[in-house]
A and B are shown apart, each in its own frame.
Chain A
């Protein structure tokens, strides 16, 4: 299955599921990335990581390694 890491800039995807566990996962969920949420990939930082996304109407940044925990469709 595709993860958020694989999504190209400018695309909007829907979150299917979150893998992994622990603080990082909880943090990602607390920030509003839950099952069924629409996520828009805004841009990649100038050095290639992290990425900036729009979720629930605000801007959030997360590392590509953590974006791998988010399965999207």
Chain B
């Protein structure tokens, strides 16, 4: 018989580490049915017949957050054979709060006290035998990080699974409360099995809406009201207080904390890191470091190597021969060498994939169109996906580290004040920071935000921040039109941030998002050194999910674009065309270019590039390259700078940049939005809003910019743009009060 173990515990209790230690690589990641919370399942390493389900990290089984509802529904409906409850030994009181609730479900519970090594090091003592007796379940001491005690805990869980149906919660509240609970229990339907009655009585007593709707038990309101009157508190508070009281009572006899007097290491770190004066400089320094390494230095080397080496001409193994090659090139340019040097003559030269494959195809006399499809379409497309991965992995490594060490929670703490103003939570910073790398995991990171409204707002605005794939567009425009001016890239981020702020304030005042600001009650976990394997695993999971989610779409688009640009009607027949302007894509581009004329870039190449940008943002540069007749362009499209400069005014180019930064993200990110919104309506709203907003802003940039710089005279376009600016300002500064009134009116209708 296969046994199902459910892994439950608080966030930051080491649950993921334990899950990874138990299952190794036998994991399946998916979604819980109907919602967007991630579901992880795995097979036990030592016995593949045993399934372990990793429940979302939760503090309670109350019905308020998505995670809590998911975990609760799973436990109630699927009824696993045993619950393995992992608790943080350094934070027993609050962790046991969930344990008391799990024990009520009537499913056998086995408790694993994690971080026992830290507990012992601190000089604290936990009498796990006594604790187990009081809780009514087996308690094991483990260290998920060091892998100690895990096998015993799992064996304990398997033993406990055999007692299914006989498991009874042993804990009890004060006599007075028990009396009321017994009265509620008497009203429960007969068919409820005995071991589950405790859970349902307590939930009904707490007026849990979801359970009340499911059971439809009458006449309990009087009991609750009587209890509330007698105890001078509401039912939920009574039960919560009773639980903590009960836990305090247990711990009195089985937990001894050594009075250390001084501050712990974590306290000392926190004193500096979230210090009133130092917090912001440190925050800025950390962000700079993350950026400097992952975007400016290591990440760039990695991306260059992937794009120009592996998916380009080739590269020197371990850099052997690079220096000599550079010397020879200099000599050639200076004129002292008559023959252009071949990099393959120096050091250990590894040819790039297109070179190798192209050579093979040519040697077997493959048809020209097939060669084009494979080398330019397929390999080019795969390169577009994978070329970006090394840089992303570097970024994900940092983010995983920041999350695991506890600093990510401090970021939310430090930033909350700012973000709340725009209808976002301090936790929105995390998706947006990740969104600077790639919008796909950024949007997925919005899961950490409990409040639905904050989450939706974050999902809608995260992709305004320039992601890594938009950097080549910025480099292209900066290089082609602005002589590589240093202000272009920062201004792109500024536009992104301004778009988030403006959208946040405007949307917050609409009916869709109006209401009280979301609660922000967040644990600040103790700082600790993350393990390398944990960080690497998280990095790998995010990286591979990008490849899987975005890869197919980018690859498909590369092939479709290759087809559309290389096939068309020329000389009266359909077939492969020599000139790109005869291709199908040019026809499509010409048809839609008129839409973008008011934005200053009505030529068909730009229109096509913007469309391919919807498929994947980095395609914009490659498309310009292909459309201007270059088979292969560098990441910043240096080859097309000259052509581009001739066909754009600087203002029009900037308008093009702004549109591509703000409009609907790539299809992969749209897919992520759909997944996180879990609603087609909201997905369309998000994309529609983004595109409309981008169009409006680009329109204003071009029309007003042209009038100011004198490249165009004041006209109807300028007037419309000025009106649009005034409209946005009105939406920004209109008082919230007005909306309340309007809301009342609609309510009256």
Residues of A whose CB lies within 8 Å of any CB of B are: 17-18, 21, 23-32, 34-37, 43-50, 52, 56-63, 65-66
Contacts and interface: CB of A to CB of B under 8 A. Distances in A.
11 contacts: A23-B64, A24-B521, A30-B97, A31-B523, A34-B241, A43-B274, A45-B417, A46-B414, A47-B414, A57-B91, A65-B517
A66 B521 contact: yes
B715 interface: no
B93 A63 contact: no
B234 interface: yes
B233 A30 contact: no
Given A43-B276, A47-B417, 13 more contacts: A18-B237, A30-B60, A30-B62, A31-B523, A32-B93, A34-B240, A36-B241, A46-B276, A46-B279, A50-B426, A61-B412, A61-B523, A62-B522
Contact of A61 (B94, B517, B522): B522
Contacts of B523: 31, 58-61
Contacts of A62: 519-522
A48 B417 contact: yes
A50 B240 CA distance: 24
Nearest to B12: A58
B277 interface: yes
B416 interface: yes
B57 to A, nearest CB: 13
B236 interface: yes
Contacts of A63: 416, 420, 517, 519-520
B632 interface: no
B418 interface: yes
A52 B521 CA distance: 10
A43 B271 CA distance: 9
Nearest to A47: B417
A50 B416 contact: yes
| Most chain A CB atoms below 10 A, which of B240, B418, B426 | B240
B520 A52 contact: no
A48 B270 CA distance: 17
Contacts of B275: 46
B414 A32 contact: no
Nearest to A42: B270
A46 B274 contact: yes
A45 B62 CA distance: 29
Given A50-B413, A57-B91, A34 B237 contact: yes
Interface in B58-112: 59-60, 62, 64, 91-94, 97
Interface string B519-530: 111111110000
A35 to B, nearest CB: 5
Nearest to A53: B524
A27 B520 CA distance: 9
Contact of A26 (B236, B280, B426): B236
A29 B417 contact: no
Nearest to A15: B241
Given A47-B414, A48-B417, A52-B413, A60 B241 contact: no
A34 B240 CA distance: 7
A37 B94 CA distance: 12
A10 B275 CA distance: 14
Nearest to B278: A46
Contacts of B233: 17, 35
| Most chain A CB atoms below 10 A, which of B60, B233, B237 | B237
B349 interface: no
| Most chain B CB atoms below 10 A, which of A30, A34, A45, A46 | A30
B520 A61 contact: yes
B32 interface: no
A19 to B, nearest CB: 10
Contacts of A35: 233, 237, 241
Contacts of B417: 45, 47-50
Contacts of B91: 56-58
B180 interface: no
B267 to A, nearest CB: 9
B59 A23 contact: no
Contacts of B521: 24, 27-28, 31, 60-62, 66
A61 to B, nearest CB: 5
B456 to A, nearest CB: 16
Given A52-B274, A61-B524, A31 B94 contact: yes
Given A43-B274, A50-B413, A63-B416, A32 B94 contact: yes
| Most chain A CB atoms below 10 A, which of B257, B275, B280, B523 | B523
Interface string B339-381: 0000000000000000000000000000000000000000000
Contacts of B414: 45-47
B493 interface: no
Given A43-B274, A46-B276, A50-B413, A27 B94 contact: no
Nearest to B257: A57
A56 B524 contact: no
A47 B418 contact: yes
Contacts of B93: 32, 56-57
A72 B685 CA distance: 44
B524 A27 contact: no
B689 interface: no
B291 interface: no
B682 interface: no
A47 to B, nearest CB: 4
A66 B418 CA distance: 17
A15 to B, nearest CB: 10
Contacts of A52: 274, 413, 524
A32 B520 CA distance: 15
Nearest to A34: B241
Contacts of B540: none
B255 to A, nearest CB: 10
A42 B576 CA distance: 71
